[in-house]
Amino acid sequence: MKHLLKLLDLTKEEIIELLDLADKLKYESKNGIEHPILKGKTLGMIFQKSSTRTRVSFETGMYQLGGYPLFLSSNDLQIGRGEPVQDTARVLSRYIDGIMIRTFEQKEVEDLAEYGSIPIINGLTDFCHPCQVLADLQTIREYKTGFDGLKMCYIGDGNNMANSLIVGGLKVGMKVSVACPEEYEPAKEVLDFAKQYDCFELTTDPKQAAKDADILFTDVWASMGQEEESVKRRTVFQGVYQINDEIMAVAKPDAMVQHCLPAHRGEEITEAVLEAHANEIFDEAENRLHAQKAVLVKLMAD
């Protein structure tokens, strides 16, 4: 494992290894055990999309690991003024020890990895969100103790979260059921991957997807960069693609709920459901820190 570009690149064993390391680092943090594993290392963090959890968790994680996080806004970099990504990759590779990038096009992340000589971490693209889903899997395992026999359900837009949840869920051995409106389905590359699994279901019916689910996921109807579609999307999704009491009633009685945040209460999830499962959702948010520290250690430690 040289980079974290997308979960499609990882084996089940590599994912489990990251989760085990994340658990270890979390235990040490909670018990006051310092782990300056990346002392003297610098992580460049390129942001072309705004962020709360990604920026704070990566900055804090690098600090706790003894390294230095360097915030690089696209407004301040020459990449924001048209410098080719391959040139940026070559230059930054001579200054720093790793790059985390949060951007729009998956190709930009892949190009950084191709032309650079340091580890590249995908902090989010329009195609996938691997760091978030590693944190999701860590949280599921904490609450459910494992993955075997579990059913994961995702309701909403077939966006980057849906793409990564499908891949991550199937690779670790869960059943995965996804409910999306027509024309808002996950990426073809992901659906082609999922075809090899008998335990994958794609439907337009949220209740069918949620039936007997152990874990329910959702996300905003319009992601960053899709704001101009928000009115149209609200018309398509409203009243159907929402985690609410009716959906919870067909899931298992002890089903947990996850949301990558930020949440639009009253749209993709009701206020009542979010608050009833707040502990799970904010444990999930905290685990961004621990899962990403595992990625940083795996990729950047000597």
Q: Which pLDDT tens digit goes with each residue over 267-285?
A: 999 999 999 999 999 999 9
| Minimum mean pLDDT range among 64-73, 109-118, 228-237, 293-302 | 228-237
Task: Identify the pLDDT of residue 58.
Answer: 98
Torsion over CA of 29, 34, 38 and 43, rounded to 10 degrees?
Answer: 50
Residue 19 has pLDDT above 70, yes or no: yes
Please state whether the peptide bond connecting residue 262 to the residue before it is cis, i.e. omega within 30 degrees of 0.
Answer: yes
Residue with tokens 């520290």: 293
Task: Identify the pLDDT of residue 113.
Answer: 97
- Characterise 239 by phi-psi region: left (phi > 0), alpha (psi -120 to 50), beta (else): left
- CA distances to 56, 119, 129, 190, 230 from 291, in Å: 13, 16, 13, 23, 31
Annotated binding-site residues read 51-54, 78, 102, 129-132, 160, 219, 223-224, 260-261, 288
pTM for the whole thing?
A: 0.96
Q: Write out the catalytic residue numbers.
A: 102, 129, 132, 219, 260, 288
Sheet holding 151-155, edge to edge: 200-203, 175-179, 151-155, 215-218, 256-259
Beta strands per DSSP E along the chain? 42-47, 68-73, 98-102, 120-124, 151-155, 175-179, 200-203, 215-218, 256-259
Residue 26 has pLDDT above 90, yes or no: yes
Range 170-177 average pLDDT: 98
Task: Identify the pLDDT of residue 154.
Answer: 98
Residue 227 has pLDDT above 80, yes or no: no
Across the chain, mean pLDDT equals 95
Read off the pLDDT band of 78 (50, 70, 90): confident
Task: Identify the pLDDT of residue 224.
Answer: 66
Annotated binding-site residues for L-ornithine read 160, 219, 223-224
- In DSSP notation, 33-95 reads ----TTTT-EEEEEESS--SHHHHHHHHHHHHTT-EEEEEETTTSGGGGT--HHHHHHHHTTT
Annotated binding-site residues for carbamoyl phosphate read 51-54, 78, 102, 129-132, 260-261, 288
Range 155-166 average pLDDT: 98
- Characterise 189 by phi-psi region: left (phi > 0), alpha (psi -120 to 50), beta (else): alpha
The answer to whether the beta carbons of residues 188 and 251 sit under 8 Å apart is no
